[in-house]
Amino acid sequence: MKQTTSRRLSARKVARFEKNITKRGSVPETVKKGNGYPVGPIVLGFFVFVVVGSSLFQIIRTAQNAGYF
């Protein structure tokens, strides 16, 4: 014997869903992000440190191996 949902319960779920549909996209201006950076300054500094450091190591390695070829 299979039970079905009552009409009252399904109507309540549909009404809740419809109410949610009308609220989409209406975010207050205070919640929206400003023109800030997508990453923090610490992460940006670490990224620059890794990129510059690896390029310096590559330059030093190339300069040391230049006499062997």
Q: Greatest CA span in the chain, whole angstroms?
A: 87
Residue 24 pLDDT exceeds 70:
no
Q: Could you tell me the CA-to-CA distances from 53 to 8, 33, 39, 64 in Å, in that order?
A: 66, 33, 20, 17
Task: Return mean pLDDT, the chain.
Answer: 79
Residue 26 token pair:
């209406």
Q: What pTM was estimated for this model as a whole?
A: 0.42
The separation between the first and the last C-alpha atoms of the chain, rounded to the nearest angstrom, is 84
Q: Span 13-34, mean pLDDT?
A: 68
CB 7 within 8 A of CB 14: no
